Amino acid sequence: MNDYLGLLAGVVAAGIGGELFVRGAVGLAHWARISPGIIGATVAAFATSSPELSVSVNSALNGTPEIALGDALGSNVVNVALVLALALVIAGIQSPRDSVKRDFPVALLVPVITGVLFLDGVLSRIDGVLLLALFAAWLTAAVVEARRQRSAAEAVLGTPRVGAALAFGVVGLGFLVLAGNFIVVAAKGIAATYGIDEFIIGATLVAIGTSTPELATTVIAKLRGHDEVSLGTILGSNIFNGLLIVAVAAIIHPIHADWREVAVALVCGLIALGVTWPPRNGFISRRRGVVLLALYAVYIVAIAQGATSY
């Protein structure tokens, strides 16, 4: 019963944290003369990926980095095929051009690169360093874009209350981290009683648990009309998960896993991003949200079949 109460507490904390963090992120973006999309792809993405980072470090130190890999890859599927899909079902999303140019291609490359590195059945420490270098290159590009936007702005409009925005962001981040920890512990406790494979646990229940902050942030941002924050958070979170979190786990402890299990998460994640790729006008319609939800159902069935086969 304690696990179920922890799950409920995590969901509530994620809702509160998402609301506060969106307010803080938009306020800080206005004060710093940086687009909310950049804030979403960097600060918000890092904040909502903090539960995955915690799981990654802890599982790798405990000698079970497969949970970290499953969590990161599974979270990337959840982020797009479930979280973004739900936001799209609420209403279509207008994607900013900078996200299409900078974040979408990198997010698409992440599962491809991971798959290539995993062809020998292991992600070594050297592979982890390579992923970390790619993450550093992407983050540098995001920072350069943020500086360009700041220098291009002639003045700050109005009198933004940076103190309040910062307070909202910090408190919201605290709730999001707390939510992730509650949900991860609860999900692992519930799943462990069934004796499920470590990668499968990470790719399903733990992935859903650690993606709850993304769900809260994305849906609330969408309801408040900040499409650029919701989309930026999802894309940034996927990049953080695929390049930073997997890299940290592999550097701490090389990751061994069944290629067939890994391939399901990689392929579904890649297809989900392909379905989300915006047309020329940048508008991602509701229909794609429905397609993504169907894809997520296929992913769950494939993972479940894998759990009974291996």
pLDDT per residue as tens digits for the range 75-114? 899 999 999 998 899 888 888 766 667 788 999 999 999 9
Of 40-49, 60-69, 256-265, which range is least confident?
40-49
Q: Does 287 have pLDDT greater than 70?
A: yes
Please state the domain count of the chain: 1
- Residue 37: the pLDDT is 63
Q: Does 41 have pLDDT greater than 60?
A: yes
Q: Is the pTM of this model over 0.85?
A: no
What CA–CA distance (Å, rounded) separates 48 from 78? Answer: 13
Contacts 24+ apart (CB under 8 A), 122-129: 122/254, 122/255, 122/256, 123/69, 123/246, 123/250, 123/254, 123/255, 124/250, 124/254, 125/250, 125/251, 125/254, 127/250, 128/246, 128/247, 128/248, 128/249, 128/250, 128/251, 129/247, 129/251
What's 261's domain CATH number?
Answer: 1.20.1420.30
29/111: higher pLDDT = 111
Say what percent of the chain tops pLDDT 90.
26
Residues 6 or more apart whose CB falls under 8 angstroms from that of 156 comprise: 30, 31, 33
- Residue 307: the pLDDT is 59
pLDDT per residue as tens digits for the range 117-141? 998 889 999 999 999 999 999 888 8
Q: Does 261 have pLDDT greater than 70?
A: yes
Q: Does 296 have pLDDT greater than 90?
A: yes
State mean pLDDT over 196-211. 77
The residue segments making up the domain with residue 245 are: 2-309
Of 152-161, 172-181, 254-263, which range is least confident?
152-161
- Residue 137: the pLDDT is 93
